[in-house]
Amino acid sequence: MNFSISLIVNGERRNVELDDPRVTLLDLLRERLHLTGTKKGCDRGQCGACTVLVNGRRINSCLALALSHDGAEILTIEGLAKGGELHPVQAAFIEHDGFQCGFCTPGQIMSAIGLIQEGQAGDDSERVREGMSGNLCRCSAYRGITEAVLDAQTRLAKAHRRDAA
């Protein structure tokens, strides 16, 4: 039996037929939609490499059934840069050396965006580390990651104030 679902992925409607109701959102993104920027680390909710935003909230896509997200809006790392310009969080990761091998980076960036949108990033590194404790980095680039999140949050807040003025 096949199941049809329809998602908005990075602003585009994608209709997908699933032949197995157990397909995870992570496998759908990587294997069916070829959006391989979202990484599969542990495949059991322990590393955060697979973090994406679903209706604006960050989730571990390896733990999410694709079928249960029919109609959802999904944002992945591929959907961040606009017109060749990096998202401020992406730019901040580069400026602050927030990565080494880069494997965890898409998940870290999506989680950072979620944290900032939730208004939970605060302005101290401890709070950022706590808010991103579900995103592990085997290279231990935590210092750069934390600095990047704090910097990106400041820049985004300034841009928001400018837009509102």
Provide the binding-site residues for ligand FES, judged by CB under 6 A.
Answer: 40-43, 45-50, 60, 62, 99-105, 137-139, 141
Closer Cβ to ligand FES, 143 or 160, answer by number: 143
Q: Hey, is 8 helix, strand or coil?
A: strand
Rounded least distance, CB 102 to ligand FES, Å = 5
Beta bridge partners of 103: none
The order of strands in the sheet holding 12-18 is 12-18, 3-9, 73-75, 51-54, 57-60
Q: Hey, is 33 helix, strand or coil?
A: coil
Q: Which helix (H) or strand (E) holds 118?
A: none
Rounded least distance, CB 105 to ligand FES, Å = 6
Alpha helices in 3-84 (DSSP H): 25-27
Rounded least distance, CB 49 to ligand FES, Å = 5
Rounded least distance, CB 77 to ligand FES, Å = 14
Q: Which tokens hold the place of 86?
A: 């990096």
Closer Cβ to ligand FES, 43 or 70, answer by number: 43
Closer Cβ to ligand FES, 14 or 40, answer by number: 40
Closer Cβ to ligand FES, 83 or 113, answer by number: 113
Cβ-Cβ contacts under 8 Å for 117 (sequence gap 6 or more)? 56
